């Protein structure tokens, strides 16, 4: 027995039938199977029926790798973010997925864990897969490594934080304005000594929020004591130390502005533990679930992560549909949600 018809790929273990196998079984040509599978016109109902039966009988499933190779489009996009499990990014990711789905596109994603090397590794892996586009929440600040990819036609959109050293579409929240509003709110309650605890200063959003804090203080002609500002890791221990120093320092603050949801939660825990001391007002950047159920409810400057994701994905698909104007920068507004913790009067 040399190369009998049954001895094709379809009979080997772990191997799948190909269009060729289906064609053989249905007694038609290869291309006819392709036509049926892709719903192309020009196939007799009778022939189509035979092909469909063969497909079912063999359990045939089109090999998209081959299709992609031939067509050049993968119908998939890549999403790189810091941490899929972060409650802020999860809805963003989900929103991107929904938009992708509406465009018949799959989503590949990866977490950079805030490590520049891992971000690049993921992005390049996606590019090697020839994703049609990329949505990136950057962890690094130099994205020139993307230039050949973009030149080769991979549409790219940055979200939440801007790209470094390249000019691409970007969708951000108004961190500066939001922080300014939040701090202004505290000032309006009568606070004069306000602390700011934020993430690492090299993270764009963190820097912008600090800037918003300073803007609000300046606009109210309030001085900012050096010990009132603390930037760095959002590790609870560090945040606790920082807040402790602000509360017990020579110029104790009467209110705190927390630069993101992780800091806010740590601040809540800490203030709760010190409940016997004078109450401290708190406004946080980022909304979070159950913020309204705490006592008092936590006043926050809310962003809309789903809207960020949706906007970014829609921008991406607009590019994929052939829009070629200059890169745009969109800045989404934030919203102050008053719940109680920010309305505590100064001691």
Partner DNA sequence: TAGGGTCTGGACAACGTTGTCAGGGGCGGG
Partner DNA sequence: CCCGCCCCTGACAACGTTGTCCAGACCCTA
Size of the site for its own copies (CB under 8 A): 56
Q: How far apart are CA 129 and CA 113, in angstroms?
A: 21
Nearer to its own copies, 127 or 255 (CB): 127
- Per-residue binding letters, 121-140, with its own copies (x by CB under 8 A): ---xxxxxxx----------
Among its own copies, DNA, none, partner that 4 touches (CB below 5 to 8 angstroms by kind): none
**24, 25, 32, 119: which one binds DNA (CB under 7 A):** 32
Residue 254, interface with DNA (CB under 7 A)?
A: no
Each residue of 66-103: b (16+ CB within 10 Å) or e?
Answer: eeeeeeeebebbbbbbbeeeeebbbbbbebbbebbeeb
Three-class secondary structure of residue 50 per DSSP: helix
Report the alpha-carbon angle 108-114-116, nearest 5. Answer: 85
- Compute the radius of gyration of the chain from its Cα atoms: 27
Is 311 in contact with 330 (CB distance < 8 Å)? Answer: yes
Shortest distance in whole angstroms from residue 117 CB to DNA: 22
Q: Which of 11, 15, 218, 233 lies at the binding interface for its own copies (CB under 8 A)?
A: 15
Give backbone dihedrals phi and psi of 172, rounded to 5 degrees, phi first.
Answer: -125, 165
Q: Whose structure tokens read 């992780």?
A: 262
Quick one: what does residue 31 bind among DNA, its own copies, none, with the CB cut-off 5 to 8 Å set by partner type? DNA
List 30, 43, 68, 320, residue binding its own copies (CB under 8 A):
68
Rama region for 54: left / alpha / beta (φ>0; ψ in -120 to 50; rest): alpha
Question: 282: helix, coil or strand?
Answer: strand
Q: What is the 3-state secondary structure (H, E, C) of 290-322?
A: CCCCCCCECEEEECCHHHHHHHHHHHHHHHHCC
The CA-based dihedral angle spanning residues 98, 101, 106, 107, taken in that order and rounded to the nearest 10 degrees: -10
- State the Cα–Cα distance between residues 264 and 266, nearest whole angstrom: 5
Name the segment binding DNA (CB under 7 A); options: 33-41, 98-106, 146-154, 320-328: 33-41
35 makes contact, choosing from DNA, its own copies, none, with CB < 5 to 8 Å by partner type, with: DNA
Please pick, from the candidates 1, 2, 14, 41, the single residue that binds DNA as defined by CB under 7 A.
41
Contact 100, 107 (CB under 8 A): yes
Q: Least CB distance from residue 97 to DNA, whole Å?
A: 24
Cα–Cα distance for residue pair 272/83, rounded to 1 Å: 28
x-or-dash string of contact with its own copies, 69-88, rule CB under 8 A: x----x-x------xxxxx-
Site residues (CB under 7 A) for DNA, limited to 68-87:
69-72
Residue with tokens 């209110």: 255
44 binds DNA (CB under 7 A): yes
275 part of the interface to its own copies, by CB under 8 A: no
Taking CB under 8 A as the binding criterion, the range among 45-53, 68-76, 179-187, 200-208 that sits at the site for its own copies is 68-76
Q: Which of 57, 66, 113, 188 binds DNA (CB under 7 A)?
A: 66
Return residues touching its own copies (CB under 8 A). Answer: 13-16, 59, 61-66, 68-69, 74, 76, 83-87, 90-91, 93-94, 97, 101, 106-111, 124-130, 147-149, 151-153, 265, 268-269, 272, 288-290, 293-295, 306
Return residues touching DNA (CB under 7 A). Answer: 9, 15-16, 18-20, 23, 27-32, 34-35, 37-38, 41-44, 46-47, 60, 62-63, 66-67, 69-72
């Amino acid at each position: 027995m040399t190369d009998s018809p049954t001895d094709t790929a379809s009979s080997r273990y772990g191997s799948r039938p190909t269009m060729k196998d289906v064609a053989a079984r249905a007694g038609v040509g290869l291309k006819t199977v392709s036509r049926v599978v892709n719903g192309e016109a020009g196939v007799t109902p009778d022939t189509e029926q035979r092909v469909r039966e063969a497909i079912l009988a063999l359990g045939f499933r089109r090999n998209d790798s081959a299709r992609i190779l031939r067509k050049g489009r993968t119908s998939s996009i890549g999403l790189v973010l810091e941490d899929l499990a972060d409650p802020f990014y999860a809805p963003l990711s989900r929103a991107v997925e929904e938009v992708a789905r509406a465009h018949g596109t799959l989503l590949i994603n990866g977490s950079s864990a805030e490590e520049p090397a891992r971000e690049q590794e993921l992005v390049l892996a996606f590019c090697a897969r020839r994703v049609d586009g990329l949505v990136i929440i950057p962890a690094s600040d130099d994205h020139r490594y993307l230039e050949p990819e973009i030149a080769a036609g991979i549409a790219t959109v940055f979200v939440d934080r801007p790209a470094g050293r390249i000019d691409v579409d970007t969708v951000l929240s108004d961190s500066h304005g939001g922080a300014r509003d939040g701090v202004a709110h505290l000032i309006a309650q009568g606070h004069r000594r306000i602390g700011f605890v934020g993430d690492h200063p090299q993270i764009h959003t963190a820097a912008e929020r600090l800037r918003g804090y300073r803007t609000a203080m300046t606009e109210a002609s309030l001085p900012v004591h050096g010990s009132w500002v603390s930037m760095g890791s959002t590790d609870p221990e560090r945040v606790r130390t920082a807040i402790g120093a602000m509360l017990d320092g020579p110029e104790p603050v009467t209110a705190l502005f927390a630069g993101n949801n992780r800091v806010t939660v740590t601040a809540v825990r800490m203030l709760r533990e010190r409940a016997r001391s004078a109450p401290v007002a708190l406004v946080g950047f980022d909304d979070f679930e159950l913020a309204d159920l705490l006592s008092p409810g936590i006043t926050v400057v809310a962003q809309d992560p789903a809207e960020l994701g949706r906007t970014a994905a829609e921008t991406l698909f607009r590019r994929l549909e052939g829009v070629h104007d200059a890169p745009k920068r969109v800045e989404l507004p934030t919203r102050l949600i008053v719940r109680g913790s920010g309305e505590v009067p100064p001691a």
